[in-house]
Chains A and B, each alone.
Chain A
Amino acid sequence: MSTVTITDATPPQLTQRLTAARLPRWAPAGTAVASIALGCGIGAAAGLKSHVQWGLISALLFLAVSYTVSASVEGRRQARDRFATSLVWVSFVCAVVPLVSLTVYTVQQGIGAISPEFLTHSMKGVVATLSPDGGIYHAIIGTIEQVLLATLIAAPIGLLTAVYLVEYGRGRLAKAVTFFVDVMTGIPSVVAGLFVLSVWNIALGFEYSGFSGSLALAILMMPVVVRSTEEMLKLVPNELREASYALGVPRWKTILRIVLPTAVGGITTGVMLAVARITGETAPVMMLVFGADFINSDPFNGPQQSLPLYIWQQYSQINNDYGYQRAWGAALVLIAFVMALNLVARGIARWRSPKGGH
């Protein structure tokens, strides 16, 4: 920054016109450090216990100090600019702090529970309140199978619905479908669970199983897949469809060979994110898969276990350190699983996105 002028070496006339006094480049960082120090000092002096309060005081100080310092040196327009920038930064930190602390805390609490035994054993024959033994193998198996089945049901239906809405849908039917998809997006997961429970398990008389859990998860997943796929298909330029029609390619082939491949990166990302979303669903699973203690790798027969349900079961044994420990371990595995899915989705999106070449 060669244009920074702190000294008034320039003629006063020119100063008024184009150049003005500027704070040095380190000013925002300096203000931040000073505000945090001051905020912590005030917090400690006032005897506030919560560090969240310290943080809030620091944030407000930071906003106030950036504005006043800048206003006194640089003038009001620059000060407003700096205030807005500071506000963006404070909001960013407010958004990131809970995410980072959640991850860090889960790792801290859960890492101790992770062991080869924990990952490869079920809870069969383990008295949960008296022993640190047992593991989550049955829950991992259950979660993977239920999520996979739900995806196999929801992804094709969702994909085809989106293709219908974008490529074919006209008039009342399309509007109705869009409306119901919107409504479905807002269905609370408990309601989806209750619906499957009353129709599949009670009215039709099927027993509790991983599959009935999958049905509820599929209901939750479908609208998410439809929405994201729809947005991706809309992004495919109409010119590509026309180029294909102009070559004498029929419509269905254009959709299959031109439109879908162009959007496949985004569609996959959407499906993966929907998978990540349903992996953590607890309520429907609680009602439908029944939480078995033993390994049941058949999702169609008998109770299964799943990670969210396992976490809830272990944590609900009040004041039991063994249960807490296992719950945190399972939570860590669940977060890692979801994060891995997200990374895979990003990888696929990058790998399949249309390339510019060179």
Chain B
Amino acid sequence: MAKRIDVSGLSAYYGSTRAIDDISMTIEPRSVTAFIGPSGCGKSTFLRTLNRMHEVIPGARVEGKVMLDDENLYGANVDPVAVRRSVGMVFQRPNPFPTMSIYDNVVAGLKLAGVKKKSVLDGVVEKSLQGANLWNEVKDRLNKPGAGLSGGQQQRLCIARAIAVEPEVLLMDEPCSALDPISTLAIEDLIGELKSQFTIVIVTHNMQQAARVSDRTAFFNLAGVGQPGKLVELDDTQRIFSNPSVQATEDYISGRFG
């Protein structure tokens, strides 16, 4: 588990519009990498290229290479479904499956992949919910609908669902932006625990959050409206927030623009 991601020369398009341009970076295993930057700079788009979710959108395509250890995600004969099995994702808005119970939500990935054995599923449910710090809150009502939980609980349910399939990498697209500060704290704590097993990439608009949870931070920016987003710099979080090597990063972090 937990693999290194090595991106080189990656550009992503929506139709003929280039959303991100020529990005190269290395994302270390068993660490948290945060993406920050102004709206529209392509953070989320870039995140979605890392598990081939970008191409789900009609007309979207990707150029470049994403190596997961020694395999190119965009190589010939690579099955996007297999990619997504090893690179999981948590979305901005909690999106539990409304027809399923809490239990079924957690094991949805396994069940849909054909795992049927009750003892295996039971074990995964407890382990994943404990991993997502939700077990104690829901263990007595596993058969209730997942949509009945609070927003913060739903998001932790979605995290449990994502880690239940045991991915190597966990992508999080602004996972706390729809949550209150207490739920946010719960998820941040959780991220800290999960990084011992997974490679975690998190997009956030909240710079304090990036500073709190991440080991390394990447700053994205765009030259202007309609221009593609670019990676400005990627460095240890400590350095990015204290002594960044690019002026634009410092301007953004200190609130001078964006």
Determine whether the beta carbon of A246 is less than 8 Å from that of B51.
yes
User: Do residues B113 and A248 form an inter-chain contact, with CB atoms below 8 A?
Assistant: yes
- Whether the Cβ atoms of B91 and A247 lie closer than 8 Å is no
Check: A250 CB closer than 8 A to any chain B CB: yes
Which residues of chain A from 224 to 244 have a CB within 8 Å of any chain B CB? 237, 239-244
In-complex Cβ contact of A239 among B81, B93, B108 (8 A): B93
Distance, CA A164 to CA B186, complexed state (A): 41
Interface-centre pick from B81, B83, B144, B149 (highest chain A CB count, 10 A): B81
Among B125-133, B157-165, B241-249, the stretch that binds chain A is B157-165
Question: How far in angstroms is the closest Cβ of chain A from B78?
Answer: 13
- Asked whether, in the complex, the Cβ of A239 is within 8 Å of the Cβ of B112, the reply is no
Measured in the bound complex, the distance between the Cα atoms of B114 and A250 in whole Å is: 12
Per-residue B-contact encoding for A249-263, CB less than 8 Å = 1, 0 else: 110011001100110
CB-CB under 8 A for A248 and B147, given A242-B56, A262-B98: no
B88 and A357 contacting across the interface, CB-CB below 8 Å: no
CB of A355 within 8 Å of the partner chain? yes
CB distance from A170 to the nearest CB of B (A): 6
Contacts of A240 in B (CB 8 A): 95, 97-98
Q: Closest residue to A237 on the B side, CB-wise?
A: B95
Min distance, Cβ B65 to any Cβ of chain A, angstroms: 21
- Do A170 and B58 contact each other (CB < 8 Å), given the known contacts A244-B108, A248-B109, A253-B112? yes
Q: Can you name the residue of chain B whose Cβ is closest to the Cβ of A358?
A: B148
A258 contacts across to B, CB distance below 8 A = 97, 99, 108
- Residue on B nearest A239 in the bound complex, by CB: B95
A249 touches B95 (CB 8 A): no
| Residue B76 CB within 8 A of the other chain | no
- Cα distance A356–B99 in the bound complex, in angstroms: 10
Which B residues, 217 to 232, have Cβ-Cβ distances below 8 Å to chain A?
none
A30 at the A/B interface (Cβ < 8 Å)? no
Partner pick for B113 among A239, A249, A254, A356, CB 8 A cutoff? A249
Q: How many A residues are at the interface, by size bracket?
A: 20 to 34
B182 contacts A by Cβ under 8 Å:
no
| Contact status of A246 and B89, CB under 8 A, knowing A170-B58, A240-B95, A258-B97 | yes
Name the residue on A nearest B144 (C-beta): A357
Complex interface: chain A residues within 8 A of B146 (CB): 357
Interface bin, chain B? 20 to 34
Asked if A249 and B98 sit within 8 Å, CB to CB, the answer is no
Q: Provided the pairs A242-B56, A355-B145, A356-B145 are in contact, do residues A248 and B165 lie with their beta carbons within 8 angstroms?
A: yes
A255 to chain B: closest CB distance in Å? 11
Q: Are A356 and B97 in contact (CB under 8 A)?
A: no
Q: Is B84 in contact with chain A by the CB < 8 A criterion?
A: yes
Q: A179 at interface (Cβ–Cβ under 8 A)? A: no
Residues of A within 8 Å of B95, CB to CB, are: 237, 239-240, 242-243
Is A347 an interface position by the 8 A CB rule? no
Q: Chain A's nearest CB lies how many Å from the CB of B53?
A: 6
Given contacts A239-B93, A261-B99, contact A247 B88 (CB under 8 A): yes
Question: B99 contacts which of A243, A249, A354 (Cβ < 8 Å)?
Answer: A354
Specify the chain A residue showing the minimal Cβ separation from B112.
Answer: A249
- How far apart sit A345 and B89, CA to CA, in the bound complex (Å)? 37
Query: Chain A: residues with CB nearer than 8 A to chain B?
Result: 170, 237, 239-250, 253-254, 257-258, 261-262, 354-358
For the complex with contacts A240-B97, A355-B145, 11 further pairs of A-B residues with Cβ separation under 8 Å are A243-B95, A243-B97, A245-B84, A246-B162, A248-B109, A249-B81, A249-B109, A253-B112, A254-B112, A258-B108, A357-B145
B interface vs A, CB < 8 Å? 51, 53, 56, 58, 81-86, 88-89, 91, 93, 95, 97-99, 108-109, 112-113, 144-149, 158, 161-162, 165
Sorted nearest first, the 7 A-B pairs with minimum C-beta distance are A357-B148, A248-B85, A354-B98, A247-B109, A246-B89, A357-B145, A239-B95
